[in-house]
Structure 1
Amino acid sequence: MTASTPFFRLLLAAYMVLASTLVEAQPVVLPLERSLALTVSKEGNERQYVPIAAHVAVYDSLKQGSRVPDLPTALRDSLRRRLIGASKEALSEMQGEFVVSAQLFFDEQGQLSHFFYSLKPFFLQRFDDLFREKLPALLDRESLRVPPGGRARLSMTYYVRNYLRARSGGDTTRMTPEKALAIRDSAAVKILVFSGLGLEKVPEVVYRFPNLEELHLQYNELSEVALDLRRLPRLQKLDLTGNQLTEEGLTLTRNKSLRILNIQRNAFTNVPVAAQHSRRLVSLWIGHNVPHSLGKNSFRGLRKLEDLNLYNAGLLEIPTSIRKLRRLKTLDLYYNELTQLPPALARLRHMEQLAISHNRLETLPEALGKLQKLEKLYAHHNALSTLPTALTKLGKIQMLDIGYNRFEVLPEVVAQLHSLHELDISYNRFSEIPSALPGLKTLKVLHLRGNPFIREKPVALYAPLISQMQAQATEVYY
């Protein structure tokens, strides 16, 4: 069933009528996808979500004839801050971190008319229900405007972080710098959140809290950050996501306390030297920057690193110097431009999770077989048609996602992965359901959607094998 069928045309017409009656009061808010289950893992991986066809049809209809305006940076940033504020309020009952991918549509007068979104991670259905119920009334159409000149659309992705506010005897404080000055028991504060305040410099007040363990400065206007960590000897986590920092703009004194550094969505072109001054760093997130290439010294001084996030960094290749990260357990290379992986990855013997989805990979190296602690391999949205035979050595692999590739037959190596719990081969080129699947006795979840045998063959031809899998307590999505 497609968006061109009479059913969807009728549904689309109904939505447009509904939109016309509501648009004067508040924007129409619609999710673009749903989770495959009511509860999913905290990783919120893309494979766990499917489009909501009716809402996508409305989105596609509005997209036709709409323009993408070239907005001044100040206006775009103002819109982002207002959206973050409204989203925080809508999710105020929920504690945690969320990412909202939003598609905004504006009418001829420049006012917001439709807000389409994807909300991740998706822990429970009520998260999405609450967001959809509360958000429309919080989106102020008078302030959420673009210059008039025809229907327009914008794409925005932003984080929503809801933390517990300080209470008597509590150790978490989320407030303005002015209010932070009034705190009497500064020694009790361990987490300080100055997010989305439009700050242009780090408030000096942060040094009032000698026991500070986490400092959150995300989504401000910081172009320079110089922190003397000798005055914050217990600081373990620093979040600078969504500012305007470059390598020259970030200065951290040498320290042995910092463990987690998040510098996503800035303007870094390489791993900053400031990160290398934190010799005990275990987690570095530098995604959504513009490195494009990393130098041979990019990872100098980061030998204790266990978690490296290079999501959407425009990388064309991974430097061989990555082999120095011997303790690395998680490597995220989603949404880059990689055409091959370096053999140096074989030196990362502690690797447990490797995410290489949304690249341009046509083959994977045999060297991956040396990652014998690997538990999860995400390789969907590439151009793979084979897998290296050395993967049979991955005795701990539990999750293999090779959806959205070019497989025509199931590689023999898959049938030999006897610890596999979840397999995703959706949207490949299988003309027949792979007969080897029932041999995967430990499999708990199997994704088959979007393959030719699903679209072109009678259900009776593949239903018996699916029934056999289900009899083995495997949940099958097809």
Structure 2
Amino acid sequence: MKIFLTVFLVVTGLNLLAQPVVLVQKDVSKELARKLEREYPTIEGQVREKPHSVQTKFEKAYEQVLQTDKFKDYTIWNTLCLNAEGKIDYLMLTVTRGFRVADGKQKEDTSVADSLAAIISTRIAPHLADFVSRRTVGSQMSMEVYVSFYTRAITKPHTKKDSVVNGLAEALATKDSLKVKTLGLAQNLLTTLPQVIYRFPNLEELFLSDNDIESIDLDMARLPKLRYLDLSKNILRDNSIRIGKNKSLQLLNLQSNLITNIPRAARSCKKLETLWLGNNRMTGLTNASFRKLKPVKDINFYKAELTALPKGIGKMRRLEVLDVYYNKLEALPKSITKLKRLTHFAVSHNNITELPKRIDKLKRVHTLYAHHNHLSKLPDRITRMKELRIVDLGYNWLTTFPSQLVAFTNLQELDLSGNNFPDFPVQLLQIRKLDKLHLRGNPFLGQDAERKYSEQLSQLKQKNIEVFY
């Protein structure tokens, strides 16, 4: 009996230890708040995104703690301090009426919300003892989750198409599986690839986003018509993705996973045209990463924590769209000028100091997004890019107007916002064709700008140029 009691007490103690420390936000001292902010930082990128499994766990926990039908007007704001095992060390919560975050300035009575927060703080911990944020394992960080129990408006049911199936239950119940072309299994709390997908041999689109799937082994011989595969917002790593050789898959979405390099599985798709890898930590890219990807026309490295783009990118000779928004690039490789089919060149929100000198080799580019960089001049040969229609150079380090811009005859939109022009760039008046011009945020646009530069602005408007200043 003593042994039984001892074991019981030990197990109970361990369970208590596993529970998070729950605090009401307004009662957290500044000292503790600073400590938690240091130890559990907010991390940019894929791990910051709130997984559907986390949201679902919190909604169920609060349903167990509260009579939710009585609190339809209230929202519970939760700040989770997650350790490297994905468990909650600290939970700080605030309750507000509606969706407004309490900021101390609300005039309405907050006594009910405060009382509700106090009650929750004493009851919620046991319901989160087994909580694990699988997608954030390995990162000690904070995450925001809000829960609201408002009554959702009843929407009219959409006319069901025989070719579209949504959810596991419907997938299992569908009788005429040969008609199904689209299968939606996003946010289904999946941890593995469900075998039910193979019931639909004529499947063309498969959506598996925002689950907790850690590995994929897709038999493409059983899905010979699949052309669109969405695996975004899962827990996939470089070597956990296997896709059988195929000539059908055209789009592969791997955004917001735990990938560091272009997975080999992409090379198994001989007709792949679109490869999205944004919101991953693509720190493992090398020149070899771009081998055997010649069919790809659109590649996305949005928020991929890139500090350098390997010169191997030049091997992707059929590339038409390159997106490296929100990275840490300071320069672009010379080999990028080998991408002669490129039409969309998006390098905004980096630290790039100059564009490639031979950018003129990118003759087909008609859209250039290079805003929010450190550009202080343009390469001379950019004047040979006759197809340019949209040029966004906003929020760079330009102090003098780039004379090269006058050479363009097909320009539709030019953005020079947020640069450092001390005076109105008179060369703008020489541009022969332009529909929209953005000048906001430049030093010359003071309070008296409209009067001071009325003649120049009038000349632009006479050319039917819409000016934003």
Question: Do both proteins adopt the same fold according to a TM-score greater than 0.5, normalized to the shorter chain?
Answer: yes
Q: How far apart are 1:414 and its partner, in Å?
A: 0.7
Q: How far apart are 1:168 and its partner, in Å?
A: 4.9
Residue 451 (structure 2) aligns with: 460
Which of residues 160, 169, 174 is equivalent to 2:166?
Answer: 174
Q: What secondary structure sits across from 1:328 in the alignment?
A: coil
| Separation of aligned partners in 1, 2:424 and 2:244 | 58
Q: What secondary structure sits across from 1:410 in the alignment?
A: coil
Q: How far apart are 1:75 and its partner, in Å?
A: 12
Q: What secondary structure sits across from 2:461 in the alignment?
A: helix
1:284 paired with 2:275, answer: yes
Residue 111 (structure 1) aligns with: 94
Rg (Cα) greater in structure: 2
Residue 51 (structure 2) aligns with: 77
Instruction: Describe the shift of the 1:330–1:367 C-alpha distance in structure 2 as closer, same or farther (beyond 3 A).
Output: same
Q: What secondary structure sits across from 2:414 in the alignment?
A: strand
Q: How far apart are 1:198 and its partner, in Å?
A: 1.4
1:248 paired with 2:254, answer: no
| Separation of aligned partners in 2, 1:354 and 1:193 | 32
Q: What secondary structure sits across from 1:226 in the alignment?
A: strand
Q: What are the ranges of 5 or more consecutive residues in structure 2 without an aligned counterpart?
A: 1-32, 60-76, 81-90, 102-115, 126-141, 146-155
Q: How far apart are 1:70 and its partner, in Å?
A: 3.9
| Separation of aligned partners in 2, 1:165 and 1:370 | 52
Q: How far apart are 1:457 and its partner, in Å?
A: 5.0
Look up the equivalent residue of 2:299 and give its one-letter code: L
Q: How far apart are 1:169 and its partner, in Å?
A: 4.5
CA contact (8 A) 1:166 1:174 kept: no
Instruction: Describe the shift of the 1:385–1:112 C-alpha distance in structure 2 as closer, same or farther (beyond 3 A).
Output: farther
| Separation of aligned partners in 1, 2:268 and 2:95 | 45
Which of residues 290, 295, 302 is equivalent to 2:293?
Answer: 302
CA contact (8 A) 1:215 1:238 kept: yes
Residue 266 (structure 1) aligns with: 257
Q: Deviations over 1:207-231 (max 9, x none)?
A: 0111100100000000011100110
| Separation of aligned partners in 2, 1:396 and 1:231 | 44
Residue 344 (structure 1) aligns with: 335
Residue 318 (structure 1) aligns with: 309
| Separation of aligned partners in 1, 2:144 and 2:434 | 38
| Separation of aligned partners in 1, 2:164 and 2:359 | 42
Q: Deviations over 1:288-327 (max 9, x none)?
A: 1111241122122210110000111111211111111111
Q: Deviations over 1:323-352 (max 9, x none)?
A: 111110000001111111111111111100
Look up the equivalent residue of 1:77 and give its one-letter code: P
| Separation of aligned partners in 1, 2:226 and 2:452 | 60
Q: What are the ranges of 5 or more consecutive residues in structure 1 without an aligned counterpart?
A: 1-63, 86-103, 118-139, 148-152, 157-163
Q: How far apart are 1:433 and its partner, in Å?
A: 1.5
Residue 378 (structure 1) aligns with: 369
1:440 paired with 2:414, answer: no
| Separation of aligned partners in 1, 2:307 and 2:79 | 36
| Separation of aligned partners in 2, 1:462 and 1:355 | 32
CA contact (8 A) 1:345 1:367 kept: no
| Separation of aligned partners in 1, 2:196 and 2:120 | 32
| Separation of aligned partners in 2, 1:382 and 1:318 | 16
1:405 paired with 2:399, answer: no
Which of residues 200, 207, 217 is equivalent to 1:209?
Answer: 200
Q: How far apart are 1:143 and its partner, in Å?
A: 10
Alignment of 1:127-142 (within 5 A): none
| Separation of aligned partners in 2, 1:277 and 1:191 | 22
Q: How far apart are 1:84 and its partner, in Å?
A: 13
| Separation of aligned partners in 2, 1:146 and 1:465 | 65
- Alignment root-mean-square deviation, CA: 3.5
Which of residues 385, 390, 404 is equivalent to 1:394?
Answer: 385
Instruction: Describe the shift of the 1:427–1:80 C-alpha distance in structure 2 as closer, same or farther (beyond 3 A).
Output: farther
Instruction: Describe the shift of the 1:357–1:116 C-alpha distance in structure 2 as closer, same or farther (beyond 3 A).
Output: farther
Q: Deviations over 1:358-390 (max 9, x none)?
A: 111111111211100000010011111100011
Residue 195 (structure 1) aligns with: 186
Greater relative contact order (CA < 8 Å, ≥ 6 in sequence): 2
Instruction: Describe the shift of the 1:293–1:224 C-alpha distance in structure 2 as closer, same or farther (beyond 3 A).
Output: closer
Which stretch has the larger CA shift, 442-451 or 455-464?
455-464
Q: What secondary structure sits across from 1:455 in the alignment?
A: coil
Instruction: Describe the shift of the 1:401–1:71 C-alpha distance in structure 2 as closer, same or farther (beyond 3 A).
Output: closer
CA contact (8 A) 2:201 2:223 kept: yes
Q: TM-score, normalised by structure 1?
A: 0.69
Q: Deviations over 1:261-289 (max 9, x none)?
A: 00000011100001111121000000111
Look up the equivalent residue of 2:199 and give its one-letter code: R
Instruction: Describe the shift of the 1:191–1:166 C-alpha distance in structure 2 as closer, same or farther (beyond 3 A).
Output: farther
Which of residues 214, 217, 223 is equivalent to 1:232?
Answer: 223
Instruction: Describe the shift of the 1:411–1:105 C-alpha distance in structure 2 as closer, same or farther (beyond 3 A).
Output: farther
| Separation of aligned partners in 2, 1:212 and 1:309 | 25
Q: What secondary structure sits across from 2:165 in the alignment?
A: strand
CA contact (8 A) 1:289 1:312 kept: yes
